[in-house]
């Protein structure tokens, strides 16, 4: 809720990168903790000269207890103080009339939440770095929930997948450049995604009795899928790493938006009508956001 300049500014927590719409709980609502009210009658603080980020926002640091917190400060016409944490760190957007002293007071009072979220993001970055693929003969990549081994050789041959021994024959020499191997394997994965997602969309759209206008693959960093009001669906190609049941859930989720462009109880009932196991699949995706998939 927005308040007048003489009232306590609400701290609007922006967790868009952490709590994706795709994972919204049925019937859930979000709330934002609020920092204490600024002193409306206090004199305006005169901040020291500070460096600027490329976009003109101010880079600042504040000692909180035994720790130093670095953050980006942006001023806007909004009427509340907003806190946003992502892989780049903490960004604070504050009204132009709020003093620096009041902003720092709000930071101090919210320090536990801020440091907790910063640690969570650092952990995500570290986890993402772990499963980096070593692109060479014998490399493994996840495909429909199972590891597939890359086999190089026979440069004159064709790229072929053998489900029996879970191997992808790539027509490149053993000494091929890692980037070449990556491009061929990723191209195959995206081709499989395009084919398979189209098949699943046809099945579930018929079950639900809806028609989508078009669909395309995406490489979104934080979303598994999206559906626009005009019937265009986008699905993250990296879903091809997951078992078919997970792909089916996202397909059912996006098609259900053609009936309900929200995440209301009626929306989840629509999802359940064509994919009853959606709760288990949704929980799996909560534990495996896009940024934690193997770096391809």
- Highest average pLDDT, of 4-8, 149-153, 292-296, comes from 149-153
| Chosen domain end from 66, 96, 129 | 129
% of the chain at pLDDT higher than 90 = 43
Tell me if 278 sits within 8 A of 252, measured CB to CB.
Answer: yes
Residue with tokens 């919204």: 24
CATH code at position 253: 3.30.2010.10
Tell me what pLDDT residue 125 has: 59
Domain closes at, from 94, 129, 164: 129
Specify the 3-state DSSP secondary structure of 52: strand
Q: Which residues contact 56 (CB under 8 A, 6 or more apart)?
A: none
Among 170-184, 256-270, 280-294, the range scoring the smallest mean pLDDT is 280-294
Query: Based on the domain organization, do 189 and 273 belong to the same domain?
Result: yes
Q: What pTM, to 2 d.p., does this model score? A: 0.59
Estimate the crossing angle of helix 265-274 against helix 278-287, to 10 degrees: 110
In this structure, are 144 and 116 located in the same domain? no
CA atoms within 13 A on the CB side of 137: 10
Give the end of a domain, one of 85, 103, 129.
129
pLDDT category at 16 given cuts 50, 70, 90 is very low
Helix (H, G, I), strand (E, B) or coil at 75: strand
Question: In terms of domains, do 41 and 167 share one?
Answer: no
The domain of 39 spans 11-129
Read off the pLDDT band of 87 (50, 70, 90). low
Q: Are residues 49 and 157 in the same domain?
A: no
Q: State whether 114 and 153 are in the same domain.
A: no
Domains identified in the chain, total number:
2
- pLDDT higher than threshold 90 for residue 268: yes
> What is the arithmetic mean of pLDDT over 132-147?
89
Task: Dump pLDDT digits (tens) for 226-246.
Answer: 999 899 999 999 999 999 999
Q: Kindly state whether residue 4 falls inside one of the protein's structural domains.
A: no
Let me know if residue 134 belongs to a domain.
Answer: no
* Same-domain status, 202 and 238: yes
For the stretch 44-58, pLDDT in tens is 334 344 444 445 556
| Residue 64's pLDDT band (cuts 50, 70, 90) | confident
The reply to whether 62 and 158 lie within a common domain is no
CA pair distance 269, 38, nearest whole angstrom: 44
Q: Considering only CA atoms, which of 192, 276, 278 is closest in space to residue 241?
A: 192
């Amino acid at each position: 809720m927005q308040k007048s300049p003489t009232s306590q500014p609400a701290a609007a927590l922006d967790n868009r990168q952490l709590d994706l719409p795709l994972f919204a709980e049925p019937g859930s609502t979000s709330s934002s903790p609020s920092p204490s009210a600024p002193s409306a009658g206090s004199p305006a603080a005169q901040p020291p000269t500070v460096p600027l980020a490329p976009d003109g926002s101010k880079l600042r640091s504040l000692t909180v207890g035994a720790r130093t917190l670095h953050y980006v400060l942006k001023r806007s016409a909004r009427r509340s103080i907003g806190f946003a944490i992502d892989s780049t760190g903490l960004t604070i957007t504050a009204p132009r009339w709020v003093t620096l002293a009041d902003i720092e007071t709000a930071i101090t009072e919210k320090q536990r939440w801020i440091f907790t979220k910063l640690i969570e993001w650092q952990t995500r970055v570290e986890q993402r770095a772990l499963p980096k693929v070593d692109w060479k003969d014998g490399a493994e990549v996840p495909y429909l929930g199972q590891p597939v081994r890359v086999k190089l050789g026979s440069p004159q041959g064709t790229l072929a997948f053998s489900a029996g021994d879970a191997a992808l024959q790539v027509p490149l020499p053993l000494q091929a450049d890692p980037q070449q191997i990556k491009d061929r394997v990723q191209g195959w994965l995206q081709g499989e995604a395009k084919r398979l997602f189209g098949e699943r969309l046809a099945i579930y759209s018929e079950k639900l009795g809806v028609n989508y206008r078009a669909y395309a693959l995406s490489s979104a960093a934080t979303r598994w899928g999206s559906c626009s009001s005009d019937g265009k669906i986008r699905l993250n190609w990296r879903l091809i790493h997951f078992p078919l049941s997970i792909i089916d859930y996202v397909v059912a989720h996006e098609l259900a938006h053609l009936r309900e462009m929200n995440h209301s109880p009626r929306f989840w009932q629509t999802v359940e009508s064509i994919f009853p196991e959606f709760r288990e699949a949704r929980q799996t995706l909560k534990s495996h956001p896009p940024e934690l998939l193997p770096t391809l």
